[in-house]
Amino acid sequence: MVMLKDIDFHPVTEIVYHADFYELTDDKPVVMSIPVHTTGTSKGVMKGGKLAYKQKRLNVKALPANMPSEVLIDITNLDVNQRVRVQDIACENYTILNPKSAEVVNVMSTRASATSGEGEGEGEAAAE
């Protein structure tokens, strides 16, 4: 079993002229850069916030059999100005090597989310 480590292309014709591989064994963990994907629709995005990826890939250490194809993050409960850090991600059978306090995704405040928040506050005050 092998894993592609690096590949070099000819600059003009884009033909592969060199490739490096890792030899994999079932009992030795490997480190790979894995893409981050999100599921669900964030509450904050529904209010007008903007979803921002701070880390598009994470370094993951795992046995070859347990290596995920992606790091999946559920953002359904993420509100405006909230974030998901590496420490918040549930990892089964693998370890994320990025710093625990590093942000992965967050919902940033926008003008639309700020005006919708002001409007809600005025409506609540009028109702009381």
- Domain locations in the chain as residue ranges: 28-113
Q: What is the pLDDT of residues 68-95, one digit of tens each?
A: 999 999 999 999 899 999 999 998 899 9
Q: Note the helical H segments in 58-110.
A: none
Q: What is the pLDDT of residues 5-55, one digit of tens each?
A: 889 999 999 899 999 998 889 899 999 999 999 999 999 889 888 999 999
Q: Are 61 and 71 in contact (CB under 8 A)?
A: no
Query: Following CA atoms 114, 120, 125, 128 in sequence, which dihedral angle do they give, to the nearest 10 degrees?
Result: -160
Please give the Cα distance from 118 to 31 (Å, whole number): 46
Look up residue 80 and give its DSSP letter. T
CATH topology of domain 28-113: RNA Polymerase Alpha Subunit; Chain A, domain 2 (2.170.120)
